[in-house]
Amino acid sequence: MRVRTLGVGGRARARSKDELMRDFRNLVSDGEALVRSTADLSGDALVEAREQFRGRLADAKARVGEASRIAVAKGRHAAEATDEYIHRNPWPVIGVAAGVGFVVGALLIRR
């Protein structure tokens, strides 16, 4: 059985998640700033502010969509790898499941 550690790819994913969260916070603050600043705007200035915010919103949606697509692909890959491992090694998996069930059952009986 292979055990994977948080290597360079894991750090990159964590950094990417942090960047995505920072971009989301920036988008929210930009939206709040837009609401405050457009209270007294009209005409072309308001249209320009809205278009600028729409551009940032579209960019944020694209990044969230890409992150979601990657997460789904990785989840699917993990499920396939787990399924393959279980089919190649059914008895150890059954033993581990029985052990976990025994421990949980013993803990529940004591309560």
Q: pLDDT tens across 21-37, in order?
A: 777 777 777 777 777 77
pLDDT-derived band at 66, boundaries 50, 70, 90: confident
Asked if residue 38 belongs to a domain, the reply is yes
User: Which domain, by its residues, includes 75?
Assistant: 8-110
How far does the chain reach from its first CA to its final CA, in angstroms? 35
Contacts of 41 (CB under 8 A, 6+ apart): 49
pLDDT at 10: 59
Domain assignment present for residue 93? The answer is: yes
Q: Write the DSSP symbol of residue 43.
A: T
Q: pLDDT category, 11, cuts 50, 70, 90?
A: low
Q: Tell me which residue has tokens 């915010």.
A: 53
Question: Looking at the domain assignment, is residue 85 inside a domain?
Answer: yes
The number of folded domains in the chain is 1
pLDDT at 15: 62
Asked, for residue 1, whether it belongs to a domain, the answer is: no
In a domain, 2, yes or no: no
What's the CA gap between 26 and 3, in Å, rounded? Answer: 37
89 inside domain? yes
pLDDT band at residue 109 under the 50/70/90 scheme: very high
Quote the mean pLDDT of the chain.
Answer: 79
Residue 50 inside a domain? The answer is yes
- The answer to whether residue 3 sits within a structural domain is no
- What is the distance between the alpha carbons of residues 50 and 38, in angstroms, rounded to a whole number? 9
What is the dihedral sign for C-alpha 33, 61, 6, 103? positive
